[in-house]
């Protein structure tokens, strides 16, 4: 099975701890030989008065010839409602998009539907009740899944077919951007903690931010950066997967042989996980992300767009990513775009102390009420009562 964490997430968890463990992955799928040790608390989330109903949703991606399954939450009441289709971040996720025990998409969906907004969230292809193969898919495939979801919603009696938008979290923002470029159907776009710079630039900023958040030494940080930069350059130049893997293994040995043993084995070093990281670099999804330029997509946006970051996010540090997105959106000339960075929030929009992913399971809330309210109010202000 493919690694359930994103490329950057693998690194972040590596630098957060130096213990190799066999565990249940943070999104609910098994993984082995991961460098992670997280003390997890039981999530405590807002208790909603359920002013919505739930329906099982099953729809077809005709292009891929697969059926996808999810949950549609619809506000109670008479009439039709605006709707949001969720796209999860990297790694195989169920419809609830669970991180360290936190059902991120479930909490967000229920909040939105309690505030007059329908939501369709679904199991990723090849996950749960959805058909397909996750490991061979790229963001292009995931964007196609989201557009198939919109096609399904267009025929639903409770949904306003001209007010269906897409929300992507983390790497899911890439698929969301592709979807709004490939189709004129989405009415709006929301990206949460999504990349704003090309893949290798994102890796470098994330390595530095996560290392700082976890107290990793400068020497180990620079060593990790060398591994990742060299691997990315090989992937960029080598299309043959077997050849790329051979070159990365050779380069890993060269770097390891020239490094000091105390640096290779120090807390936060990715050296013990190199074999797994090399495999992940070679996956179709990772190859796509490394060569993807979000700015070129944001610069073509013409629909209402909300882009949110957390100021303590060490995976997509806001200073780099938000600045790049703002610049690209100005080039687009669109008249309804918003880029905001919320104080104290991490990659999941929890109120955090350091922003390290090692904190995810130690924080009781799944998503801050501040972030929840910002998303729902932005949608309601534009697509409220007809």
Looking at the structure, tell me whether residues 279 and 298 fall in a common domain: no
Q: What is the rounded distance in angstroms from the CA atom of residue 99 to the CA atom of residue 26?
A: 5
| Res. 294: pLDDT tops 50 | yes
Average pLDDT of the chain, as a whole number: 87
| Res. 25: pLDDT tops 80 | no
Looking at the structure, tell me whether residues 78 and 155 fall in a common domain: yes
Q: What is the rounded distance in angstroms from the CA atom of residue 246 to the CA atom of residue 172?
A: 30
Looking at the structure, tell me whether residues 267 and 372 fall in a common domain: no
Helices first, then strands: H and E counts in the chain = 13, 12
Looking at the structure, tell me whether residues 162 and 306 fall in a common domain: yes
Classified as helix, coil or strand, 69 is strand
Answer whether 365's CB lies under 8 Å from 43's CB.
Answer: yes
What residue has token string 């479930």?
106
Please compute, for residue 70, the number of CA atoms within 13 A of its CA located in the half-sphere on the CB side. 32
Q: What is the mean pLDDT of residues 267-294?
A: 88
Q: What is the rounded distance in angstroms from the CA atom of residue 92 to the CA atom of residue 124?
A: 6
> Of 258, 290, 322, which one is at a domain's C-terminal end?
290
Looking at the structure, tell me whether residues 79 and 183 fall in a common domain: yes
Looking at the structure, tell me whether residues 333 and 349 fall in a common domain: yes
**Domain assignment of residue 55, yes or no:** no
Q: What is the CA radius of gyration of the chain?
A: 20
Q: What is the rounded distance in angstroms from the CA atom of residue 113 to the CA atom of residue 124?
A: 21
Per the structure, how many domains does the chain have?
A: 2
Instruction: State which of 26-35, 39-48, 148-157 shows the largest mean pLDDT.
Output: 148-157
- pLDDT value of position 43: 63
**Domain assignment of residue 52, yes or no:** no
Per-residue tokens: 156? 């639903």
**Domain assignment of residue 125, yes or no:** yes
Classified as helix, coil or strand, 49 is coil
**Domain assignment of residue 108, yes or no:** yes
CATH number at residue 335: 3.40.50.1820
pTM above 0.75, yes or no: yes
Looking at the structure, tell me whether residues 177 and 91 fall in a common domain: yes
**Domain assignment of residue 213, yes or no:** yes
Q: What is the rounded distance in angstroms from the CA atom of residue 287 to the CA atom of residue 282?
A: 6
- Where does the pLDDT of residue 280 fall: very low under 50, low under 70, confident under 90, or very high at 90 and above? confident
- pLDDT value of position 12: 42
Looking at the structure, tell me whether residues 298 and 286 fall in a common domain: no
Looking at the structure, tell me whether residues 144 and 164 fall in a common domain: yes
- Where does the pLDDT of residue 41 fall: very low under 50, low under 70, confident under 90, or very high at 90 and above? low
> pLDDT tens digits, residue range 336-361?
999 999 999 999 999 999 998 889 99
**Domain assignment of residue 86, yes or no:** yes
Looking at the structure, tell me whether residues 245 and 320 fall in a common domain: no
Q: What is the rounded distance in angstroms from the CA atom of residue 160 to the CA atom of residue 150?
A: 11
Q: What is the rounded distance in angstroms from the CA atom of residue 192 to the CA atom of residue 178?
A: 15
Q: What is the rounded distance in angstroms from the CA atom of residue 22 to the CA atom of residue 29?
A: 12
Please compute, for residue 293, the number of CA atoms within 13 A of its CA located in the half-sphere on the CB side. 5
| Res. 34: pLDDT tops 70 | no
| Res. 303: pLDDT tops 90 | yes
**Domain assignment of residue 47, yes or no:** no
> Of 244, 264, 290, which one is at a domain's C-terminal end?
290
> Which residues, 6 or more positions from 237, have their beta carbon under 8 angstroms from its beta carbon?
none
> Of 249, 274, 290, which one is at a domain's C-terminal end?
290
- Rounded to the nearest 10 degrees, the angle between the axes of helix 218-237 and helix 241-258 is 150
- Where does the pLDDT of residue 262 fall: very low under 50, low under 70, confident under 90, or very high at 90 and above? confident
Instruction: Quote the domain boundaries for residue 240.
Output: 7-37+199-290
> Which residues, 6 or more positions from 190, have their beta carbon under 8 angstroms from its beta carbon?
84, 165, 166, 167, 168, 176, 305, 306, 307, 308, 375, 378, 379
**What is the helix (H) or strand (E) element at residue 73, kind and residue range?**
strand 66-75
| Res. 234: pLDDT tops 90 | yes
**Domain assignment of residue 43, yes or no:** no
Q: What is the rounded distance in angstroms from the CA atom of residue 170 to the CA atom of residue 107?
A: 17
Looking at the structure, tell me whether residues 304 and 180 fall in a common domain: yes
Question: What is the percentage of the chain residues whose pLDDT exceeds 70?
Answer: 87
* Total length of the chain: 386
Looking at the structure, tell me whether residues 113 and 185 fall in a common domain: yes
> Which residues, 6 or more positions from 239, have their beta carbon under 8 angstroms from its beta carbon?
none
246-270: b or e for each residue (b if 16 or more CB lie within 10 Å)? Answer: ebbeebbeebeeebeeebbebbbbb
């Amino acid at each position: 099975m493919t690694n359930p964490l994103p490329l950057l997430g693998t690194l972040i968890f590596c630098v957060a701890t130096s213990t190799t463990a066999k565990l249940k992955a943070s999104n609910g799928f098994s993984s082995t030989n991961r460098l992670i040790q997280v003390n997890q608390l039981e999530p405590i989330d807002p208790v909603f008065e359920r002013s919505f109903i739930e329906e099982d949703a099953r729809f077809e991606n005709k292009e891929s010839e697969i059926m996808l399954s999810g949950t549609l939450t619809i506000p109670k009441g008479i009439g039709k409602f605006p709707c949001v289709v969720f796209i999860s971040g990297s790694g195989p996720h169920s419809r609830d998009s669970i991180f360290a025990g936190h059902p991120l998409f479930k909490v967000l969906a229920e909040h939105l539907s309690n505030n007059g907004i329908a939501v369709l969230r679904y199991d990723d292809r090849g996950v749960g009740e959805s058909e397909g193969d996750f490991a061979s898919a790229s963001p292009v495939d995931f964007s196609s899944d989201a557009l198939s979801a919109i096609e399904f919603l267009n025929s639903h009696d409770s949904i306003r077919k001209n007010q269906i938008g897409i929300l992507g979290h983390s790497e899911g923002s890439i698929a969301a951007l592709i979807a709004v470029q490939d189709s004129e159907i989405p009415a709006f776009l929301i990206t949460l903690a999504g990349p704003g710079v090309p893949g290798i630039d994102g890796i470098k900023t994330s390595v530095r931010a996560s290392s700082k958040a976890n107290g990793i030494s400068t020497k180990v940080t620079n060593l990790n950066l060398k591994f990742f930069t060299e691997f990315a350059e090989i992937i960029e130049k080598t299309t043959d997967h077997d050849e790329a893997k051979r070159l990365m293994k050779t380069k890993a040995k060269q770097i390891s042989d020239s490094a000091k043993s105390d640096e290779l084995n120090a807390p936060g070093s990715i050296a013990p996980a190199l074999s797994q990281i090399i495999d992940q670099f070679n996956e179709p999804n990772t190859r796509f992300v490394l060569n993807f330029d979000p700015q070129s997509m944001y610069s073509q946006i013409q629909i209402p767009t909300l882009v949110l970051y957390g100021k303590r996010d060490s995976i997509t540090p806001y200073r780099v990513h938000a600045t790049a997105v703002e610049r690209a959106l100005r080039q687009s000339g669109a008249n309804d775009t918003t880029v905001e960075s919320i104080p104290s929030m991490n990659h999941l929009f929890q109120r955090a102390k350091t922003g390290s992913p090692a904190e995810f399971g130690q924080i009781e809330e799944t998503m801050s009420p501040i972030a929840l309210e910002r998303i729902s109010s932005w949608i309601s202000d534009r697509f409220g009562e007809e």
